[in-house]
Amino acid sequence: MNTFTLGLIVLIYLLSLTYLGIKGYRQTKTSSDYLLAGRQIHPFVMAVSYGATFISSSAIIGFGGIAANFGMGLIWLTFLNMFVGVVIAFIFFGRKTREMGHKLDAHTFPEFIGKSFNSKSIQIFAGALIFVSMPLYAAVVLKGGAVFIEKIFEIDYNIALFVFTLIIAAYVVAGGIKGVMYTDALQGSIMFISMFFLLFWTYKTIGMNFSEANRNLTEMAQLVPEKLQSMGHLGWTSMPAFGSSWWYTLVTSLIMGVGIGVLAQPQLVVRFMTVRSNKELNRAVLIGTVFIAVTTGIIYTVGAVSNIFFMQTEGKIAIEVLKDVDKIIPEFIKLAMPSWFAAVFMLTILSASMSTLSSQFHAMGSSIGRDVVSTLMKRPHNNTLITRLGVVVSIIVSYIICYTLSMGVIARGTAIFFGICAASFLPAYFCAIYWKRATRKAAFASMVSGFGISLLMLLFTHQKESAALGISQAIFGKPALFDQMPWPVLDPIMIALPISIVVIVAVSLLTPKQKAVTVAA
Amino acid sequence: MFGISDPGIYLAYLLVFLCVIFAVVYGIVNWNKGGTDNTLPLEEDIKWEEEELKIKEDEA
C-alpha cells in the first residue's frame, strides 16, 4: 500500500473522530453532560464504548503477545472478561450503580463511593488513588499506540508519541464523555470487524482449519525453549504446569487480576451511570459480551497460532523471532496480513488505544478535578473548567511516565493497575451497593488496607516489580523479601483483596451502625 | 476436542461459547424490559433526601 492511500485512510479516520468530538462538544453544556453525557446515552454506544474502553492496545498487543508466547491458557481471561466484566458487571453491579448514582447525584466513581458512605474523605482518597495509580496504565496503553504509529509510518517514536497524545488530548478536553463515547463506538466497530478478518486470514495464510492448527500447535510443544519449560510452559494448547511460576503469573496476575479487577475500574463503572434506564443495560449485556468474545477470543487464539506462521516462514517460534513479547503481534500483522489490512489494523490498534486512553484521561481528570480539588475547596460541583484542567494535567503526567517504561511491560502494567483497583475499591463498591451494614470507617479502612498491601507487595514481594524498583534491595539486600514459592510470583491481589474484604466486614461489625445513604435492596 | 488435548483449555473455549449464548438469550429476552425510568425520585425518596439534608445541616 502506498503512502498516499495510507495517509488518506488515516485522514478520513481522524476527520471522523474530529466530527464526533465536535458533536460531543456541542452537546456538552453542563458538568453532568461533561461527566455523564446527561445520562442519555444509547445502549449500542454505551456497550461498544464499554468494550472498546476495556479492550485496549494492551489487550491486543500486550496480551496477544503473551498468548503467542505462552499459548491458549489466556482464553480463560476471555471468559472472565465476558462473564465477570460484562455479565456480572452489568447485571449485578451496573443496574444498582445506575440507580444509586442517579439518586445520589454522583458523577464520578469516587463521588459514587464517597456519597454512598456519606464521606468526603472517601471521595478524596479514591480520587487521589486513581490519579496516582492510573497514569501507569495510561502510559502502557499510550506506548502501545505510539509504537504502532512509529512502525507503520516509519517516523521517530518521540514524534509519534507526541502527535498521538495531542490528538487524544484534543477530543477529551473538548468533548467530555460524550465525545469520548461517540468516538469509542466508532473505534469499537472498527475493532470488531477487523478481528473477523484477522481470524479468517490467519487460518487462510497457514493453510489449516481451527482443529488442524491446534493439532499442529500441540505437536509443536517440544519446541518450547528450555527456559520457558522450566517456568512451567507445557505447549501452546495446554495450561502451564500447576504451581509453576508461569502458572502463578497466568492465573493470579493475568486471569484473576485483570478478570476480577475489571469490576472496580473507575472508567468503566462510570459508564453505567450514563444510560437512562435498565433497558439499555440489558441490551448492553448482549452487545458487550459478543464484543469481548470476538475481540479478545480472536486475538488470543491468533496469538498462539502465530507460532505456526513463524515456524513455516522463519523456521522458529514467535518468541525466538522477536525477543520482545510486545512486538510479536505487530510483526505478525505486518508479515502475514495483506498490506491494506495492516493499515486498517493500525486504525484498530489506534482505536483501541485511543478509546481506552480517552476514558482514562477523562477518569483521571475528573478524579483530580472534581473529587479532590473541588471537594477540598468546597466549591459547588458545576465547574467543568477544573475537570478539564485535571484532564490536561493527567495527560502530561502519563506522557512523562511513558518515557520511563522499558519494553515488554504492557500486559504487566495493565495487570498492576487492575489489581490495585480490585483490592482498593471492590469491597467498598460492593458494600455500597449491597450491604447496608457497612460503615464509613470500614469502607475507608478497607480501601487503605487494599491499596497499602498491594503497594507493599509490589515493593517487597512480587519479584518483577520489587527487583525493578530496587527498594527491597536497598533495605534488605535482596530483590524480593521471600525466596520460597509462590511468593516471588504471587500477585498482590491474591492477598490484598481478601484482606480488604475481611477489613470491611470486621470494622463494620465493630463500629456503630450509621444511617444508610445507600439504596441497597 | 478440536485438536486440543488439555481439558483446561477446551473448557475455557466451551465456557466462552456458553457465555455468549447466555448473553444473547438474556439480551433478547430482556430487550424491552427495564424501560421505565425508575430513577425518578419517588415521594418517599424526596422525603428521605430532605431528611438527610437536614441531618447534614445540623452536623455542619
Q: Where are the alpha helices (DSSP H) in A273-383?
A: 278-314, 318-321, 328-336, 339-366, 375-377
DSSP-assigned letter for residue A277: S
Residue A515 falls within a domain, yes or no? Answer: no
A–B CB contacts, 8 A cutoff, strictly below: 121
Closest listed residue to residue A299, CA positions, set A215, A151, A198: A198
Task: CATH number of the domain at A22, please.
Answer: 1.20.1730.10
Range(s) of the domain holding residue A375:
3-28+41-510
Q: Cβ separation of A282 and B24 shorter than 8 Å?
A: no
The pLDDT value given to residue A519 = 43
Q: Rounded CA gap, A106 and A113, in Å?
A: 9
Q: Rounded CA gap, A419 and A480, in Å?
A: 19
Pull the grid cell for residue A457. Answer: 507487595
Q: Which of B4, B19, B37 lies at the smallest CB-CB distance from A79?
A: B19
The pLDDT value given to residue A30 = 66
Pull the grid cell for residue A438. Answer: 457497612
Question: What are the residue ranges in chain A where pLDDT is below 50?
Answer: 518-521
The answer to whether A369 and A110 have CB atoms below 8 angstroms apart is no
Q: Which of A234, A237, A277 lies at the smallest CB-CB distance from B34?
A: A277
Q: Cβ separation of A282 and B31 shorter than 8 Å?
A: yes
The pLDDT value given to residue A171 = 66
The pLDDT value given to residue A290 = 92
Q: Rounded CA gap, A291 and A480, in Å?
A: 40
The pLDDT value given to residue A350 = 76
Residues of A in contact with B53 (CB under 8 A): none
Pull the grid cell for residue A68. Answer: 503467542
User: pLDDT by residue (tens digit) across A160-213?
Assistant: 888 888 877 776 666 566 677 777 788 788 888 889 999 999 999 999 988 999
User: Regarding predicted confidence, which is higher, B2 or A110?
Assistant: A110
Residue A344 falls within a domain, yes or no? Answer: yes
Q: What is the ipTM metric for this complex? A: 0.82
Q: Which B residues in the span 1-60 are in contact with A, Cβ-Cβ below 8 Å?
A: 2-6, 8-9, 12-13, 15-16, 19-20, 22-24, 26-28, 30-39, 41, 45, 52, 55
User: pLDDT by residue (tens digit) across A337-394?
Assistant: 888 888 778 777 777 777 778 778 888 888 888 788 877 876 655 567 777 788 888 8
Pull the grid cell for residue A341. Answer: 489490512
Asked, as a colleague might, if the bond just before A380 is cis with ω within 30 of 0, I would say no
Residue A64: enclosing H or E segment and its boundaries? helix A64-70
The answer to whether A94 and A273 have CB atoms below 8 angstroms apart is no
